[in-house]
Amino acid sequence: MDNRRLQVKQPKYMKIAADIASKIVDKKYVIGEKIYARSSLASQYGVSSETARRAIAVLQDLEIVEATKGSGVMIKSSEKAAQFVHQFLDVQSIQQIQMEMLESIKRQRDELAYLQETTEQLVSRTERFRSVNPFVPFQIEILESSPYISQTIGSINFWQNTMATIVGIRRESELILSPGPYATIEKNDIIYFIGNDESIDRVEKFLYPI
């Protein structure tokens, strides 16, 4: 099942039961008062008589109302009505949090997909135009074997040792442009740099000395 398409909804009869309980809490109905018969309840909420029956059954099971055949529904307990309303709202809050989390995950996936597409376009253009444009960057991945992980670009004298200039760092879902000498290089970073045709060899030998 695709959880991204999952929509969590409360049954109609639970919403009706919660609405009636809320009216009891708000003292719109008082203890001992008789309210709707099943047919009038169904008409008021625009649902089937079976849905109305289930709503009353929920309230009766929780001892909020007392339903007598032929006598309608009588209000029994405002305290238990309040407990039910709080529980119902708590469940709704949890469901809302779940939905917001799913939406957040979807947005993150969309952003990562866009970043991947953008990076692939950059790589494609890099390969296509490097021969005619010396300012199109090379790229290299920072592996665990590099001795310079978590060190700054300036402290390792990257330019002095490679004659190449770092113009960007891709780190997970971020693309850092013009990082400067105080930026660190971390494991799994993708380093974009410019230089001449010999730069890639110098950078590889520098980052991964034998």
- In this predicted model, what pLDDT tens digit does every residue of 78-119 receive, in sequence order? 888 888 887 776 665 555 656 666 777 777 787 777 777 777
- Spatial contact of 163 and 122, defined as CB atoms under 8 Å apart: no
Residue 31 belongs to a domain: yes
Residue 30 belongs to a domain: yes
Last residue of a domain, one of 31, 60, 89: 89
Residue 185 belongs to a domain: yes
Percentage helix, strand, coil for the chain under 3-state DSSP, each rounded to 5: 50, 15, 35
Is residue 60's pLDDT more than 60?
A: yes
Band (pLDDT 50/70/90 cuts) for residue 41 is: confident
- Residue 25 is part of which domain span? 12-89
Residue 102 belongs to a domain: no
Q: How far is CA 28 from the centre of its chain?
A: 40
Residue 106 belongs to a domain: no
- Residues 80, 143: one domain? no
- Residues 78, 143: one domain? no
pTM (2 d.p.): 0.39
Last residue of a domain, one of 89, 120, 151: 89
Q: What is the pLDDT of residue 6?
A: 44
Q: Give the CATH number, domain containing residue 66.
A: 1.10.10.10
How many structural domains is the chain composed of? Answer: 2
- Residue predicted with more confidence, 70 or 35: 35
Read off the amino acid at residue 43. S
- Neighbour count for residue 12 (Cβ, 10 Å): 16
Is residue 3's pLDDT more than 60?
A: no
Q: Give the CATH number, domain containing residue 158.
A: 3.30.70.1450
Asked which of 4-8, 26-30, 68-72, 140-144 is least confident by mean pLDDT, the reply is 4-8
Specify the DSSP class assigned to residue 137: P
Residue 132 belongs to a domain: no
